[in-house]
Amino acid sequence: MTISIDPQKTNNESLQPKGWLRYFSFSLDHKVIGIQYLVCGFLFYLIGGTLASAIRIELVSPMSDFMPRDVYNQVLTLHGTIMIFLWIVPVVNGAFGNYLIPFYVGARDMAFPRLNAVAFWLIPPSGLMLVASYFVEGAAQAGWTAYPPLSITTPQSGQIIWILSVLLLGGSSIFGGINFIATIIKLRRPGLKLMQLPMYCWAMLGTSLLVVLSTPVLAGTLILLSFDIIANTGFFNPVLGGNVVVYQHLFWFYSHPAVYIMVLPAFGLVSEILPVHARKPLFGYTTMVFSIMGIVVLGLVVWAHHMFTSGTPPWMRLFFTIATAFIAVPTGIKFFNWVATLWGGKISINSAMLFSCGFIINFVFGGITGVALAQVPFDIHVHDTYFVVAHFHYIVYGGTVFIIFSSIYHWFPKVTGKMLNEKLGILHFIITFIGFNLCFAPQHWLGLNGMPRRVAEYDPQFQFVNQISSLGALLMAISTIPFLINVFLSVRNGKNAGDNPWNALTPEWLTSSPPPVENWEGEAPLVEEPYGYGKEISEQK
């Protein structure tokens, strides 16, 4: 069916609220929705960060003296769930995806603007519901994985609210994914070929495929889990003849791809930022595209490496070890491409660049521990210890959150037309980088020496290293302050950025800053070489 329809007027300007009020409306403008995602996600990041601080305060001493043990379990569950489902996934997909993808494909909005607004407005209520579950009968206590039988035997109301909240967030994620796939494949400006798209489009296409293929499986699994809790069925309850390992398989069929849902968009974003600030074309565009698609395919068949201690048969261990090791290949290609992009470039040392370089360093470290964890003998030794916590945070905080900050420094002038203060930005980077590594690097040692994760009390011999780690967490908490000051000061009276302060070539910079409602005053520009920086220099000569 290929009938042509007139463009839907996405915004009747006289009816839409103006100024900051539009961020509280059911706006259909992809740029407003992007900012809604970002600010909403950041508020939940502050909540999740507060919970993380509470965890680190508790772990300063070996006894559970700061909070009772069940409260500790609730705090770590909410910390994990909020950070994953309400901060990283919505921000790195929803916020930057909504803001940038229509520019990159040369469109005036996303393919389905109303679906887009619905997808965003599912997030605040489910997030508030999740936070409020603490005040009901205690929040969920079973960790962000909600493994049965733990999730069946702990107090029910908190767990059910957790399930409902994650189902809504999963729905939001699926709607977003459908929208991104349709926008990237179908809404491209005439004349723009797939292989000319900026790398973030490819990353979002791969991510959205993962979202569409794997999130529904989690939804189905959680529905079955809620039956177990409410209706007393026995899908995952061994007492009633159920099988807990089936839950783990279904859960990780989503939640391993979820790691790529969190980190692939960051790969895309860093591929946008590095060429601009190094004034060089992105190295190895084609290999980047193929490695993203390789990660998507492999990412769907490695889930059982989370389950090496769950009685998995030897053939399964062998298969998933090999498949996981293979993922290091496309990831390594991307890593070397970024380094090669920087190599010999005219690098400007600014906050965006520093956070991107921090990402590369942290990510390669997290990647190496990841390959180590894929090996069964090593994994069995450190399973469910702080080594896993350290590895995970190196990928998700050291990787993705660093890129979120890098992207904020990079695109802030686009969104507001004002520059962020560079001195405060560099201060923010230094405190974050030191705090992050101080917090999580010692946890590798803790894990190797056998400190289990998710417990409020630990062996006193680990106290000193835990205190170093908590000091790092304190620095990470402090690092938010210069960032917030920077944003508030710069929005009010930052120096004017002009339309294109970085002299970037990607399409979003070829319109005014902040952009007009439908992105372009006239027809969308055709950008055939989004990374043609070398040519730009030779033309100037």
Do 285 and 217 touch, CB atoms closer than 8 A? Answer: no
Specify the residue, 493 or 539, whose C-beta has the smaller distance to other proteins: 539
Rule CB under 8 A: is residue 50 a binding residue for other proteins? no
> Using the rule CB under 8 A, which residue among 286, 377, 522, 538 binds other proteins?
522
Distance between CA atoms of residues 91 and 418, nearest Å? 21
Q: Which CA distances in Å does 60 have to 65, 70, 433, 453, 457?
A: 10, 18, 21, 14, 10
> Using the rule CB under 8 A, which residue among 9, 186, 381, 495 binds other proteins?
186
Least CB distance to other proteins at residue 505 (A): 7
Residues 279-338 that bind other proteins (CB under 8 A): none
Specify the residue, 170 or 472, whose C-beta has the smaller distance to other proteins: 170
Do 120 and 52 touch, CB atoms closer than 8 A? Answer: no
Specify the residue, 1 or 15, whose C-beta has the smaller distance to other proteins: 1
> Using the rule CB under 8 A, which residue among 486, 525, 534, 541 binds other proteins?
525
Rule CB under 8 A: is residue 230 a binding residue for other proteins? no
Size of the chain, expressed as the number of residues it contains? 541
Distance between CA atoms of residues 212 and 170, nearest Å? 10
> Using the rule CB under 8 A, which residue among 161, 187, 259, 427 binds other proteins?
187
Angle between helices 402-416 and 96-104 (to 10 degrees): 60
Rule CB under 8 A: is residue 517 a binding residue for other proteins? no
Angle between helices 422-448 and 351-373 (to 10 degrees): 10
> Using the rule CB under 8 A, which residue among 18, 377, 539, 541 binds other proteins?
539
Least CB distance to other proteins at residue 358 (A): 31
Bond preceding residue 514 cis, omega within 30 of 0: yes
Count CB-CB contacts under 10 A for residue 21: 10
- In sequence order, the 6+-apart residues with CB closer than 8 A to the CB of 145 are 251, 255
> Using the rule CB under 8 A, which residue among 96, 104, 144, 235 binds other proteins?
235
Of 174-182, 317-325, 415-423, 472-480, which part binds other proteins (CB under 8 A)? 174-182
Rule CB under 8 A: is residue 239 a binding residue for other proteins? no
Specify the residue, 65 or 529, whose C-beta has the smaller distance to other proteins: 529
Of 59-67, 141-149, 172-180, 368-376, which part binds other proteins (CB under 8 A)? 172-180
Q: Vertex 285, ends 283 and 286: CA angle to 5°?
A: 135
Specify the residue, 224 or 361, whose C-beta has the smaller distance to other proteins: 224
Hey, CA dihedral for 283, 287, 293, 298, is it positive or negative? negative
Distance between CA atoms of residues 531 and 541, nearest Å? 18
Distance between CA atoms of residues 116 and 182, nearest Å? 12
Specify the residue, 482 or 530, whose C-beta has the smaller distance to other proteins: 530
> Using the rule CB under 8 A, which residue among 4, 286, 493, 538 binds other proteins?
4
Least CB distance to other proteins at residue 21 (A): 29
User: Residue 152: what are its φ and ψ, rounded to 5°?
Assistant: -85, -30
> Which residue carries 């259909």 as its tokens?
28
Residues 196-225 that bind other proteins (CB under 8 A): 212-217, 219-221, 223-224
List 385's β-bridge partners, or say none. 452
Distance between CA atoms of residues 493 and 475, nearest Å? 27
Q: Tokens for 196?
A: 């000319």
Least CB distance to other proteins at residue 235 (A): 6
**Termini Cα distance of the chain:** 50
> Which residue carries 């309850």 as its tokens?
237
Specify the residue, 60 or 115, whose C-beta has the smaller distance to other proteins: 115
Of 17-25, 77-85, 180-188, 377-385, which part binds other proteins (CB under 8 A)? 180-188
> Using the rule CB under 8 A, which residue among 43, 46, 60, 115 binds other proteins?
115
Of residues 160, 157, 84, the one with CA closest to residue 123: 84
Q: Vertex 109, ends 513 and 186: CA angle to 5°?
A: 130
Least CB distance to other proteins at residue 480 (A): 36
Specify the residue, 5 or 195, whose C-beta has the smaller distance to other proteins: 5
Do 60 and 467 touch, CB atoms closer than 8 A? Answer: yes
Site string for other proteins, 244-283 (x = CB under 8 A): --x--xx--x------------------------------
Least CB distance to other proteins at residue 356 (A): 24
Sites of contact with other proteins (CB under 8 A) = 1-7, 108, 111-112, 115, 174, 177-179, 181-182, 185-187, 212-217, 219-221, 223-224, 227, 231-235, 240-243, 246, 249-250, 253, 505, 507, 510, 520-527, 536, 539
